[in-house]
Structure 1
Amino acid sequence: MTDTDTESKVEAAEAAALELANVSDADRRAALEAIATAIDDHREDVIAVNDRDVEAGEELLEAGEYTQALVDRLKLDDAKMDSIVEMVESVADQADPLGKTLQARHLDDDLDLYRVAVPIGVIGTVFESRPDALVQIAALALKSGNAVILKGGSEASHSNRELFEIIREAAQDVEAIPEGWVQLIEAREAVDTVLGMDEHIDLLMPRGSSEFVSYVQDNTQIPVLGHTEGVCHVFVDSEADLDEAVEVAYDAKVQYTAVCNAIETLLVHEDVAEAFLPTMADRYAEADVELRGDERTREILEEFDVREATEEDWRTEYGDLILSIKVVDSLVDAIDHVNTNGSKHTESILTEDDETARKFMTGVDAASVFHNASTRFSDGYRYGLGAEVGISTGKIHARGPVGLEGLTTYKYYLEGDGHLVASYAGEDALPFSHEDFDGEW
């Protein structure tokens, strides 16, 4: 793909975005329903091409170039296809995020100001490995009235191409949906072309390593909503229900280990470490989790094969069946460890003491903080957002799982009756009322 090809696709998306912003929710919903049906009807084709990606991935895994976690994220089967179809249907059924009056204010008689939700415009996304991410992003973009540029990783190229064509063709069955609203770019060098198109793209959402996200941020003037790694923690407090803690900490690591909301470090209060850790280690052993621990952890688990944890371990997203464990002296130490080593993604405290939980939840700097729950709940679908385009570990303009509302902005509409600014200036200036009211534009 040449620079000209990439530029043409971005410009086509920009033109489509202006039309899509004014397409009714009924038509956007109909297009999403058509997409869900088409994906369901073509599931065998999708799985067949996905097998090619997985086969190539397994060869690179054997060669030491890919991780098992990456290959796991590549795989599509009937169960995964069911969840993809269900996700698209869920997005279709979500309330329309557009046209909502977010605020209505009287400035004066017959002079009313409205702040109304609108699409962002053109969204560029770069993601890796998971073909279902392409469908999530496209579905959310369509529902929120945004055109979208999709750049997946080469490891899923066959799957991405097949899913893109299904989505593109199905949406065309709804006359109101403008052609060109969804674009797929595949060449690695196309990313740099996209980064330079700040006059045409309104938001970039890279999903990948922190190094890649930093590269994107350093090489573009387009606003970037970064989704980097998930170095997530569970802290088992001295007042935790230890039986419950074993199950939650197991779920947080093992239920699906190759995702960004799985924990990478388990923190345990020293008062319960000796009672808790052997039972927890036995449970992890059932799933072949490799443990790495600090000195106190290894002393308590001397009968287990626990490697010495390094400083690098505390900051590593394994995305695999590897877990670091640290014994801490206090709640303060746990908070300090999380804020020093975490990625501001998702953290959880297990305790029966509500005051301790509140101190942890307000003291930790993360997009999502849980009490007595697995970090795996940090997900757009589980939050009731329908799906997510990613999890933002930044603070502007969206944070945590980014669903439909995170893909909107707003504009102001002012309704007057021949009003002049001159009337509100000078010695006899009229006053503004500035009174909020319940009303829709």
Structure 2
Amino acid sequence: MIISTYSSMTDYQQIFQSVKSATRKLPILTEEEILRTLRSLKEITLDNINLILEANRLDLAKMDPNDPKYDRLLLSEERIKNICNEITQVESLSSPLNRVLESKILENGLELQKISVPLGVLGIIYEARPNVTFDVFSLALKSGNGLVLKGSTDAEHSNSTIISIIHQALELNNIPKDAYQLLPVDRAGTKALLEAVGFVDIIIPRGSQGLIDFVRQNAKVPVIETGAGIVHTYFDETGNLTKGKAIIHNAKTRRPSVCNSLDCLIIHESRIKELQELVEPLIKSGVKIYADKKSFENIKGTPGVEMANDKHFGTEFLSLQMSIKTVSDLDEALNHISEFSSKHSEAIISENQNNIDQFLKMVDAAAVYANASTAFTDGNQFGLGAEIGISTQKLHARGPMALNELTSYKWIIKGNGQIR
């Protein structure tokens, strides 16, 4: 069942109550019931690829192909099959529930255990990413959590079709579909979800910095911030040119519309004469470059190269655009990153172990790399299965959030008549 548009807060509260009530039954599902449902979801999805693609085409028709969100919105047969592969990875992972995190017996004989439990009901607000609907459902089911999904108008048809497929898999396996609901795309749903205190345990936004800021500023439910990636790579005075060319090109062009793609190349001034060679693969791939004064002097006249201004630093481009900043030493590079980073992913290309060690220790980000592409910041690449988002904050979870990060814990105390 796809939820129709609701007109009042009372209707939304009824939805939230039904999700909360159904979610209470999830922690007692057996591992076999969960795995069987995920297998059913893959089968139904593959049987309905054409239906999903037709819905996706309706969404794509409303969006300018030059919009950076277009690639995020786009589904293809290959991408749908990759989504199913990610669900398979989630299947293969151990359950994160009922793990004994700590155990002890007190002097009075009380037996204490701290065990992992679901967070409860997750509220996910996301933009133009229909794959998120599949990803978060598989993770939520495996971790015993319910879901209230709030997608954007951009992906309305895609998300509605996907949730109907999810509900088919749930019904086929006698799991309450009320625990997994998609809200209408209107703004009233967003407001209701952000204020769903007592029904929704946590809100996780997936999208632009503007969306994340709006959710953080307006939510009455606790929020885990994810997503916005203003990503830097520092090519220092010892950086290997061959490694650097490959890493920088991959980080920028592999999939420029996602949050782990490179936004700013920082280069040590002693390597400025090699900048032309360093960026040549980028130019061939159609990347537009905004270079600061020092770097511009060395690559001016190159197609797609312009002089940078202040707005080009601290920008998440989400497209084939990037900036270049020249620095005189590691400290200046670290200061630039500190000023403009969104604390998502940062990298250094260096053969100097002292520089690498200092960079890895001093950069404050969820993922910090040495001599590798930031394109690896991804739950699937980290071996976590699908991800529910990449947390850029420090409370509860940081970096790619998957099964373990969708749990909390509670204390179990067993006694034999003890009183205090």
Superposition TM-score, scaled by structure 1 size: 0.91
Deviation of the 1:228 alpha carbon: 4.0
SS of the aligned residue for 2:325 comes to strand
Q: CA deviation at 1:142?
A: 0.7
What one-letter code is carried by the residue in structure 2 that aligns with 1:101?
V
1:343-397 deviation digits (Å, cap 9, x = unpaired): 0000011111222111101111100001111000000000011011111111111
| Deviation at residue 193 of structure 1 after TM alignment | 1.0
Q: CA–CA distance in 1 between the matches of 2:283 and 2:68?
A: 19
Contact 2:231–2:260 under 8 Å retained in 1? yes
| Deviation sequence 1:45-84 (CA, Å, 0-9, x none) | 11111111112213xx5xxxxx532111111111101111
Q: Distance in 2 between matches of 1:132 and 1:220?
A: 24
Within 5 Å, give how 1:22-421 maps onto structure 2. 22-58=28-64, 67-108=66-107, 110-175=109-174, 177-186=175-184, 187-275=186-274, 277-305=275-303, 306-421=305-420
CA distance in 2, matches of 1:205, 1:116: 23
Question: What root-mean-square deviation, in Å, do the aligned CA atoms of Structure 1 and Structure 2 show?
Answer: 1.3
Q: Verify the 8 A CA contact 1:198 1:220 in the aligned structure 2.
A: no
SS in 2 for 1:335: helix
Tell me the SS of whatever aligns to 2:204: strand
Asked if structure 2 preserves the Cα contact closer than 8 Å seen for 1:205 and 1:225, the reply is yes
Q: Deviation at 1:88?
A: 1.2
* Corresponding letter in the other structure for 1:122: V
2:3 aligns with: none
Q: What is the deviation of 1:303?
A: 3.3
Task: Return the alpha-carbon distance in structure 1 between the equivalents of residues 218 and 252 of structure 2.
Answer: 35
Secondary structure of 2:116's aligned partner:
strand
Cα distance, 1:6 vs structure 2? 2.1
Contact 1:231 1:264 in 2 (8 A): yes
In the TM superposition, what whole-angstrom CA distance separates every residue of 1:179-222 from its partner, at most 9, and x where no partner exists?
31100002222110111111111000011222322222222221
Distance 2:28 2:270 in 1: 60
Once residues 201 and 147 of structure 1 are traced to their aligned partners in structure 2, the CA distance between those partners, rounded to angstroms, is 9
Q: Separation in 2 of the partners of 1:407 and 1:362?
A: 27
Structure 2 Cα separation of the partners of residues 156 and 195 of structure 1: 20
Structure whose CA Rg is larger: 1
Residue 414 of structure 1 deviates from its aligned partner by 1.1
Shift of 1:109: 6.0
Secondary structure, counterpart of 1:189 in structure 2: helix
Percent identity, aligned pairs only, is: 31
Contact persistence 2:292–2:308 (CA under 8 A): yes
State which of 4, 7, 32 in structure 1 corresponds to 2:10.
4
How many residue pairs are counted as aligned between the two chains? 412
SS of residue matched to 1:281: helix
Gaps of 5+ in 1: 62-66, 422-441
Q: 1:238-283, CA deviations, whole angstroms, 9 ceiling, x for partnerless residues?
A: 11111110100000000111100001000011122212x1112221
Q: Secondary structure at the match of 1:227?
A: coil
Mapped partners of 1:212, 1:370: distance in 2: 27
The code of the aligned residue for 2:23 comes to A
**Maintained 8 Å contact 2:108/2:418:** no
1:17 aligned partner: 23
Q: Is the 8 A contact 2:36 2:173 kept in 1?
A: yes
Aligned residue for 2:28, secondary structure, equals: coil
Distance, in Å, in 2 between the alignment partners of 1:55 and 1:23 is 41
| Alignment partners' CA distance in 2, 1:168 and 1:253 | 37
Separation in structure 2 between the aligned mates of residue 350 and residue 336 of structure 1, nearest angstrom: 17
Q: Which amino acid counterpart does residue 379 of structure 2 have in structure 1? A: G
SS of 2:178's partner is coil
Q: TM-score, normalised by structure 2?
A: 0.96
SS of the equivalent of 1:406 reads helix
Question: Deviation at 1:151?
Answer: 0.8
Q: Is the 8 A contact 1:129 1:152 kept in 2?
A: yes
Q: Secondary structure at the match of 2:283?
A: helix
SS across alignment from 2:266: strand
In the alignment, is the contact (CA less than 8 A) between 1:128 and 1:208 conserved in 2? yes
Tell whether the 8 Å contact from 1:88 to 1:136 is kept in structure 2 after alignment.
Answer: yes
Amino acid at match of 1:278: Q
Post-superposition CA distance 1:283-309 (Å, at most 9, x none): 111111001011100011123242121
Partner of 2:360, secondary structure, is helix
- Verify the 8 A CA contact 1:380 1:387 in the aligned structure 2: yes
TM-fit CA distance, 1:401: 0.7
What is the Cα deviation at residue 134 of structure 1?
0.9
Equivalent pair of 1:7/1:194 in contact (CA under 8 Å): no
Secondary structure (helix, strand or coil) at the match of 1:115 reads strand
Native 8 Å contact 1:133 1:389 kept in 2: yes
Alpha-carbon distance between aligned partners in 2 of 1:419 and 1:392, rounded to the nearest angstrom = 42
